[in-house]
Amino acid sequence: MLAALTLLLLCQLAGEVIAQLSGLPLPGPVIGMVLLFIGLVIRGEVPAALDRAARGLLDHLSLLFVPAGVGVVLHLTRVGDEWLPLSAALVLSTLLAIVVTGWVMQRLGRPAADEPKP
């Protein structure tokens, strides 16, 4: 557990350092995710301890969104003033993105023989 958490933090730290040094327009944790992914491909399996620690974090992923979400109290006036453009943009663009993605994938990607047919 401790070793796995250390590994996750090390990947994140390395990601932050790479982001700072390279000026890449990527958040540190995303670079850390790529680093861990490369490490897993090289190793060829997910170590059991790492799997347990990651599951502990990812099972409660939505809890981690709460502190940032409470930040809405800072923006109540803005949300009140701009509720029409904000809600129109959120609803229409989210539905558009779902349809565009699904449609492109269905058009271009024929399912492999052993995968369920649409």
User: Which of the residues 71 through 100 are near another protein (CB under 8 A)?
Assistant: 71-75, 78-79, 82, 84-86, 88-100
What residues between 4 and 23 interact with another protein by CB under 8 A?
Answer: 5, 8-9, 11-12, 15
What are the tokens at 69?
A: 């979400």
DSSP-derived secondary structure letter, 111: P
Interaction mask 21-60, another protein, x per CB under 8 A: ----xxxxxx-xxxxxx--xx----x---xx-xx--xx--
DSSP 110: P
Contact between 64 and another protein per CB under 8 A? yes
Please return the burial class of 5, using the count of CB atoms within 10 Å of its CB with bins 0-12, 13-18 and 19+: middle
